[in-house]
Amino acid sequence: MRERRSSGWDLWEDAPCGLLIAASNGTLLRANATVSRWLGYELAELIGHKRLPDLMPMGARVFLQTHWTPLLQMQGSVSEVQLDLLHKDGRRIPMMLSAIRRERNGVPQDEIALLMAADRKLYERELLAARAKAEAATNDLELAQARLREANDAMAAADRRKDEFLATLAHELRNPLAPMANVIATMELRGAGAPQSGRELAVLARQVAQMTRLVDDLMNVSRISQSKIDLRLEPNDLAQTLTFAAEEAMSSIHAAGQSLRIDLPAYPVWCNVDRARVTQIVANLLNNASKYSHRGAYIELVARVSGGSAVIQVIDDGMGIPPNQLDNIFDMFSQLTPALDRAQGGLGIGLSLVKGLVALHGGEVAAHSAGVGHGSCFTVRLPLIAPPADAVVHEPAPPPAGTATTASIVIVDDNVDAAETLAAAMEMLGYRTVVANNGREALRAIAESLPHAAILDIGLPDMNGYELARKIRSEPWGSNIALVAATGWGQEADKQAAREAGFDLHFTKPLDFMKLDQQLRPLMPNS
């Protein structure tokens, strides 16, 4: 017992693994209680009476002689060899054996550790399972952290978009006001008892309806995201509807110094749609194309018939869409980049609204882009219907007959409603008017009619108002024409730029017609 304690054997006696010490010839010199319990022998039956080969079946004995013993002699150790040991009752027990050969007092002895193979495999399985659980827990934790970061980023982005949304709300609502103000001024000039122009009232009704719907949409974002919008569906000629949509978006396109090319079928294309909503769909796509295109870019609005669908495409050569943003481009408040300023930033709901409205019409919308710097194309498909029996294509009403005088004005504005309502107001003041909607038309109209004055919008599609003024002044017939700049920009720098371009007067939209008349008449001949 003292020897056991001195050797530390008492620490091994109840170890969970079997421990043996054998002489070089295999005689068991020591064994712990675990070996005794596993093999069914008393320790006294083992120690000094059994050799290691005695505890093995024939195959294991052969392995012991041919492999085990030579390895111990050559390298001094053997690790994790699976061999069967025999229980006292003859049962075979698979074991994992490891051994180290040491010399004690100059005599070689083998220290052998035994572990039941079944237990070893169980431990390995448990270890592998524990490792797998740990790895899964680590992966879950990393995934949860990634999702948390994404959620935090999404919340921050949503909060930022909300702030941008509120900041630009008032600015965006002012877009329809100029033509409305022109119509109201015209009505005031007529007086209470004067007959009303159906064309002017139609413009006013269209702009008021558009503005009312815009306010309703902006103030009910959750309704928009859930597509809970009531449509007033009726047969409509899509070509006419797209023309109105182009007028709605023209101001932002031209203000950015961009050009819009419109390619519509020459024949009616009938769809069962809410005309105002389709106008909104296409105007949103055009505004989006303008926002993400450089100054001087070309934007196309193309419509055609393909199979049983009307296909509308808005194409631009702007900044394009990164591939990783194509999937969420129609999400609420989604914007490709932070707004550089509020005039360009928009509300970020346009494409989400487009998707919802197109779906309500039974159509489809898709975005395509070859990547950053390669422009984009948005395609809308709406189902066609047969032409209604009483289909009538309504042509625009002719300009109102004003009071003819010797004073004539050419009015140049890319916004058709704004140009025509301004013309109506000026006619009520006694001027004869001619309307043009871009720089080339304006040059031709001025050269042909040689007016006394011209009111020029600054943001025109093909050339800005400053360029147009310089071209007019460079012509022999252009020196005596009074030029008025009409613009949404009224800083002193804008007025100075107008003077340098050759303008006589500068007015900020919406125009004060009485003040314009007072300042314009002294510039007229025979005033």
Q: What's the angle, vertex CA 456, arms to CA 244 and CA 514, rounded to 5? A: 95
Tens-place pLDDT, residues 474-499 = 999 898 999 999 886 666 778 899 99
Q: What is the pLDDT of residue 6?
A: 47
- Spatial distance between the Cα atoms of 486 and 129, rounded to a whole number of angstroms: 77
Tokens 């309500």 -> residue = 360
Rounded to an integer, the average pLDDT of 268-275 is 91
* pLDDT, mean over the chain: 80
The CATH architecture that domain 408-523 belongs to is 3-Layer(aba) Sandwich (3.40)
DSSP state, 270? E
Residues 455, 486 contacting (CB under 8 angstroms):
yes
Among 248-252, 290-294, 328-332, 389-393, whose mean pLDDT is lowest?
A: 389-393
- Spatial distance between the Cα atoms of 126 and 110, rounded to a whole number of angstroms: 31
Between 190 and 425, name the one with better pLDDT: 425
- Answer CATH for 2-120 from 3.40.50.720, 3.40.190.290, 3.40.50.300, 3.30.450.20: 3.30.450.20
| 123 φψ region: left (φ > 0), alpha (ψ -120 to 50), beta (else) | alpha
Going by their DSSP bridges, the two strands 482-487 and 259-263 should be labelled as unpaired
What pLDDT band is residue 396 in, cutting at 50, 70 and 90? very low
Residues 329, 367 contacting (CB under 8 angstroms):
yes
Check whether the bond before 510 is cis (ω within 30° of 0): yes
End-to-end CA distance of the chain: 136
For residue 376 the two structure tokens come to 């984009």
Tens-place pLDDT, residues 403-461 = 334 589 999 998 888 888 888 888 888 888 999 999 999 999 999 889 999 999 988 88
Rounded to an integer, the average pLDDT of 87-102 is 92
Instruction: Count CB-CB contacts under 10 A for residue 161.
Output: 20
Same topology for domains 232-383 and 408-523, yes or no?
Answer: no
Q: What are phi and psi of 410, to 5 degrees?
A: -100, 125
Q: What is the pLDDT of residue 209?
A: 53
- Spatial distance between the Cα atoms of 8 and 2, rounded to a whole number of angstroms: 10
Residues 411, 426 contacting (CB under 8 angstroms):
yes
Q: What is the pLDDT of residue 393?
A: 45
Q: What are phi and psi of 523, to 5 degrees?
A: -90, -5
Residues 173, 215 contacting (CB under 8 angstroms):
yes
Dump strand ranges (E) for 105-179: 107-116
Rounded to an integer, the average pLDDT of 64-87 is 90
- Spatial distance between the Cα atoms of 391 and 254, rounded to a whole number of angstroms: 34
DSSP assignment of 81-117 equals: EEEEEE-TTS-EEEEEEEEEEEEETTEEEEEEEEEEH
Q: What is the pLDDT of residue 292?
A: 85
- Answer CATH for 232-383 from 3.10.450.30, 3.40.50.20, 3.50.50.60, 3.30.565.10: 3.30.565.10
Spell out the domain ranges in the chain: 2-120, 232-383, 408-523
Tens-place pLDDT, residues 305-326 = 988 899 999 999 988 888 888 8
Between 405 and 63, name the one with better pLDDT: 63
- Spatial distance between the Cα atoms of 147 and 141, rounded to a whole number of angstroms: 10
